[in-house]
């Protein structure tokens, strides 16, 4: 049973998601384009590198906000899911497939909107046309990013719901956001070792987004030299993480516990 | 068909059990369970739904252990938390649950019109009044061909005219029904149904709602007792035609026990 369109509709009609993942992130793009860009060189390559760095990190954080929304939906829906798996035609596999489809679609929508905002604002600031070098690759990375963050937030939320309680579920909802913020920005300012970037799904995504927009490989510093990151290991890294987390989600979803919403009160 | 045997539920951290050995069989029958707030009525429904793990005993629906049931759409409920699967307008939730239950959304849309609830179709559950939320849950429970319906306080915050309509709907529904209420004055509408009395996690019965006028509560373990209630203030017997206090005379079973204690 496929509920993809229901899930996509529920997520896309979430006003908070549009505010935080689109409007708030677009504001940061504006800051990057108009306030933080004073020292950027005038060469095309410098402008593209600067723009792409902002775009990649902002999309990563926007996708992590999608994760926060999904995490919250588990807290509200734990009883509904525990009931539906018993007393309706809904199966954990079908539900997860719907989540995969819905979050991939929403990931794509977020990326397209932020891509437009990036191209518009940075293009205006630098008086040049800034379009993605490989839009097809960006579509693929967006879909994959949506699924990865869905699987990460699902695993964390279900671990909390099944074993810790709803108060913990509230806190774990922020973990993807914190990791995306720290690791996404970290890649811009810190010389992460190559193995770390390949092994970190957040940096795999950032690097692939960078490559898809700029057409050049993301780099890491190795001694005094900059070394390009290969797209194959980056793609493999995010695929392995996503597959592993989807598997964990399925196992946890089969054992979902009903939690009373009143548990969620923090004070 | 619902078969509950020796069901005990103790919540984590609780010193007293919420359910203390419930035995209940519902087969081609409708039962009203009467009890005060906190007596365990909702916990019983949540346990049957698989939302509360039993500490001891068993629950079987159509012969299958609740813990192993998967993909059986025949059991429904009016508990609002069940319909929070996604944050969608009621119209979409109706279509979603019709799909999940294998029913026709037009059935529920027709009931919503009959209850003059069409305006809720475009709203989300949290935008509805308490009474509207309750009624929407009630209508979800009776739609899409359920074989067993579990209703928790279905008349709470519902106005008189809609209560009457709902009573008619429940009486005509071709399904087993377990209906929880703390409102004794409603029982007259269900005279031909079975009656269960819930007190401090114990379910007494089944009696008949029609014989409610003949049921008495007597302090102690009476030899002619139909059922014995073990409470924190001692033993009480449910007797027929004679006893200390008529069950119907009290606003709740708790008040009755307290008046005798």
Domains with residue ranges and CATH for chain B? 2-74+147-260 (3.40.50.300)
Report the pLDDT value the prediction gives residue B251, as an integer from 0 to 100.
Answer: 59
* Count of other CB atoms within 10 angstroms of residue B1: 15
Classify residue A21 by its DSSP letter: I
**Contact status of A10 with chain B (Cβ, < 8 Å):** yes
**Nearest by CB: B84 against A80, A86, A91:** A80
Domains of chain A: total: 1
Nearest CB to B85 within list A13, A84, A91: A84
Q: Is A84 on the interface with B (CB under 8 A)?
A: yes
- The 3-state secondary structure of B1-24, one letter per residue: CEEEEEEEECCCCCCCCCEEEEEE
pLDDT-derived band of residue B252, with 50, 70 and 90 as boundaries? low
How many CB atoms sit inside 10 A of residue B118's CB? Answer: 13
User: What's the pLDDT tens digit per position in B230-240?
Assistant: 877 888 898 99
**Is the CB of B85 less than 8 angstroms away from the CB of A82?**
no
Please report the residues numbered 236 through 255 in chain A whose beta carbons come closer than 8 angstroms to any beta carbon of chain B: none
Which residues in B lie closer than 8 A to residue A259 (C-beta atoms)? none
Range of the domain at A189: 4-264
Average pLDDT over residues B29-43: 91
Of B69, B72, B82, the CB nearest to A80: B82
DSSP structure string for A202-260: HHHHHHHHHHHHHSS--EEEETTEEEEPPHHHHHHHHHHHHHHHHHHHHHHHHTPPP--
| Inter-chain touch A81–B83, beta carbons under 8 Å | no
- Residue B17's nearest CA partner among B44, B50, B49, B51 is B44
Instruction: Tell if the CB–CB gap between B86 and A84 is shorter than 8 Å.
Output: no
Give the A:B interface size as CB pairs under 8 Å: 86
Query: In terms of DSSP H, where are the helices of A127-230?
Result: 135-163, 166-172, 175-189, 194-199, 201-214
Confidence at residue B229, expressed as pLDDT on a 0 to 100 scale? 83
Region A190-206 average pLDDT: 92
Task: Count Cβ neighbours within 10 Å for each residue of B5-15 and write b for 16 or more, e otherwise.
Answer: eebbbbeeeee
Yes or no, beta carbons of A10 and B88 under 8 Å apart: yes
Q: What is the ipTM of this complex?
A: 0.90
Q: In whole angstroms, what is the distance from residue B218 CA to residue B235 CA?
A: 9
Query: CB A79 to CB B52 under 8 A?
Result: no
Tell me the average pLDDT of chain A: 91
Q: Do residues A99 and A66 lie in contact, with contact meaning Cβ atoms separated by under 8 Å?
A: no
Show the tokens assigned to A13: 């009609």
Question: Phi, psi (5° rounding) for residue B224?
Answer: -95, 20
Smallest Cβ–Cβ distance between B88 and the set A6, A84, A258 belongs to A6
pLDDT score recorded for residue B53: 92
Interface residue A95 vs chain B (CB under 8 A): no
Q: Residue A170: pLDDT above 80?
A: no
CB–CB of A87 and B46 under 8 A? no
Q: Does A91 touch chain B (CB under 8 A)?
A: yes
Q: Which residues of B touch A258 (CB under 8 A)?
A: 46, 50-52, 81
Of A244 and B15, which is predicted with more confidence?
Answer: A244
Which of A6, A83, A88 is nearest residue B86 as measured by Cβ atoms?
A6
B258: pLDDT strictly greater than 80? no
């Amino acid at each position: 049973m496929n509920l993809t369109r229901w899930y996509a509709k529920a997520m896309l009609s979430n006003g908070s998601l549009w505010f935080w993942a689109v409007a708030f992130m677009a504001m940061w793009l504006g800051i990057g384009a108009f306030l933080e860009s004073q020292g950027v060189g005038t060469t095309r390559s410098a402008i593209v590198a600067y723009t792409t760095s902002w775009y990649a990190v902002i999309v990563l954080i926007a996708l992590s906000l999608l994760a926060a929304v999904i995490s919250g939906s588990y807290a509200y829906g734990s009883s509904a899911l525990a009931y539906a798996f018993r007393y309706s035609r809904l199966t954990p596999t079908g539900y997860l497939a719907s989540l995969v489809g819905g979050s991939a679609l929403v990931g794509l929508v977020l990326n397209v909107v932020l891509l437009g905002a990036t191209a518009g604002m940075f293009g205006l600031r630098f008086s040049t046309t800034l379009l993605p070098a490989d839009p097809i690759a960006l579509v693929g990375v967006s879909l994959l990013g949506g699924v990865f963050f869905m699987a990460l937030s699902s695993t964390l939320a279900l671990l909390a719901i099944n074993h810790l309680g709803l108060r913990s579920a509230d806190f774990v909802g922020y973990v993807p956001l914190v990791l995306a913020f720290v690791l996404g920005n970290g890649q811009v300012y810190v010389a992460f070792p190559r193995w770390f970037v390949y092994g970190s799904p957040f940096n795999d995504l950032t690097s692939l987004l960078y490559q898809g927009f700029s057409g050049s490989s993301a780099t890491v510093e190795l001694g005094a030299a900059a070394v390009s990151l290969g797209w194959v290991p980056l793609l493999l890294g995010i695929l392995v993480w996503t597959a592993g987390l989807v598997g964990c989600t399925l196992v946890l979803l089969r054992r979902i516990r009903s939690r009373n919403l009143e548990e969620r009160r923090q004070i | 068909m619902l078969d509950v045997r020796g069901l005990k539920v103790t919540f984590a951290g609780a010193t007293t059990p919420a359910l203390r050995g419930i035995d209940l069989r519902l087969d081609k029958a409708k039962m009203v369970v009467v009890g005060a707030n906190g007596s365990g009525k909702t916990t019983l429904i949540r346990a049957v739904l698989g939302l509360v793990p039993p500490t001891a005993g068993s629950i079987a629906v159509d012969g299958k252990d609740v813990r192993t049931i998967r993909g059986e759409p025949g059991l429904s409920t009016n508990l609002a938390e069940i319909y929070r699967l996604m944050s969608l307008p009621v119209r979409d939730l109706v279509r979603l649950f019709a799909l999940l239950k294998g029913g026709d959304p037009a059935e529920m849309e027709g009931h919503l019109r009959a209850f003059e609830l069409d305006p809720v179709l475009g709203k989300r559950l949290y935008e509805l009044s308490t009474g509207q939320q309750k009624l929407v849950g009630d209508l979800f429970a009776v739609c899409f061909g359920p074989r067993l319906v579990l209703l928790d306080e279905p008349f709470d915050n519902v106005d008189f005219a809609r209560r009457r309509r709902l009573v008619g709907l429940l009486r005509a529904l071709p399904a087993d029904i377990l209906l929880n209420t703390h409102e004794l004055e409603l029982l007259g509408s269900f005279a031909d149904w079975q009656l269960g009395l819930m007190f401090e996690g114990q379910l007494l019965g089944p009696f008949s709602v029609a014989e409610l006028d003949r049921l008495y509560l007597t302090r102690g373990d009476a030899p002619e007792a139909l059922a014995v209630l073990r409470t924190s203030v001692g033993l009480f017997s449910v007797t027929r035609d004679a006893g200390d206090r008529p069950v119907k005379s009290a606003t709740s079973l708790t008040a009755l026990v307290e008046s005798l204690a």
